[in-house]
Amino acid sequence: MIDLGLIGDLYVFVLAGFLGYQVISRVSPLLHTPLMSATNAISGISLVGSLVVAGAGYNKVSTALGFIAVTASTINVVGGFLITDRILKMFRSAGPGVAGREGQKALESGDK
């Protein structure tokens, strides 16, 4: 049987690549670090493939490998989104009123 599925997959891959190029080119250079942690988190989608292997009970080896894969992917999903949000929270605008910002800053530096 000729694998037509692979050709379809290739379509998706190439077109998503172009889309990615367009979207990522517009990301502000300010945010390149959170961009990386965000794509890390998103690529934790390998979790969905790992879940099936860990839970389908094919054989002991597959289940063990699947379990490790689920763990590793979950680290990426959870850790990736958490740190992205942590970084993004730090990006603040000076805002309209400089005086107001000074007050806010005083509050924040008090926290630390």
Partner 1 sequence: MKRDLLQLFYLLSAILFVMGLRGLSHPRTARRGMFLAEAGMLLAIVGSLLHHEIIDYKWIVAGLILGTLIGAPLAIWIPMTAVPQRTALSHSFGALAASLIGISEYYRHGAALGSVRVGVIGVEVMLGSLTFTGSLMAAGKLQGLIRGYPITYRGQNIFNLSILAGMLGLIVALMFVPSSTAAFYSMVGLAFFFGVMLILPIGAADMPVVIALLNSYAGLTDAAMGFMLDNKIQIITGSLDGSSGFILSILMCRAMNRSITNVLFGAFGKVEQEPAGLLEGKKPIRQCSIEEAAEILGTSRSIVFVPGYGMAVSQAQHRVREVADVLKSKGVQVRYGIHAVAGRMPGHMNVLLAEANVPYDELYDMDQINSYFPETDVAVVVGANDVVNPAAKRERGSPIYGMPILEVERAKVVIVCKRSLNPGFAGIDNELYYNDNTLMLFGDAKDTMVKLTAALKA
Q: How far is the CB of 41 from partner 1 (least distance, A)?
A: 7
Q: Is residue 103 at the binding interface for partner 1, with CB under 8 A as the rule?
A: no
Minimal CA–CA distance to 54: which of 68, 74, 72?
A: 68
Site map (CB under 8 A) of partner 1, residues 3-32, x = contact: x-xx--x--xxx-xx-xxx-xxxxxxxxxx
Q: How far is the CB of 67 from partner 1 (least distance, A)?
A: 4
Please answer whether residues 66 and 49 qualify as being in contact, where contact means their C-beta atoms are separated by less than 8 angstroms: no
Residues 28-87 that bind partner 1 (CB under 8 A): 28-59, 61-63, 65-87
Q: Is residue 100 at the binding interface for partner 1, with CB under 8 A as the rule?
A: no
Q: Is residue 107 at the binding interface for partner 1, with CB under 8 A as the rule?
A: no
Please answer whether residues 38 and 24 qualify as being in contact, where contact means their C-beta atoms are separated by less than 8 angstroms: no
Phi-psi region of 5 (alpha: psi -120 to 50; beta: other; left: phi over 0): alpha
